[in-house]
Amino acid sequence: MSPRLAHDAQSQQAEKIRKRLRKQQDHLFTSLNYPDIEATNNQAKR
């Protein structure tokens, strides 16, 4: 893969991640504000 194509692919992946983080930013660090909420979803998986 050429460096230009690799850069474009990385840029697209980075943009996808940025959009996902922005969409969920209000919920990502809930456990920091509420000590009773675990920082993991281990309980949900059990």
CA angle (39 as vertex; 41, 37 as ends), nearest 5: 90
**Domain extent listing, the chain:** 12-45
- The single residue listed with the structure tokens 């930013």 is 25
28 in Cβ contact with 21 (< 8 Å): yes
Residue 38 is predicted with a pLDDT of: 82
CA 23, CA 36: separation in Å to the nearest integer? 24
Residue 4 is predicted with a pLDDT of: 72
pLDDT values of the chain reduced to their tens digit, one per residue, 46 residues: 677 767 788 899 999 999 999 999 888 888 888 888 888 877 766 6
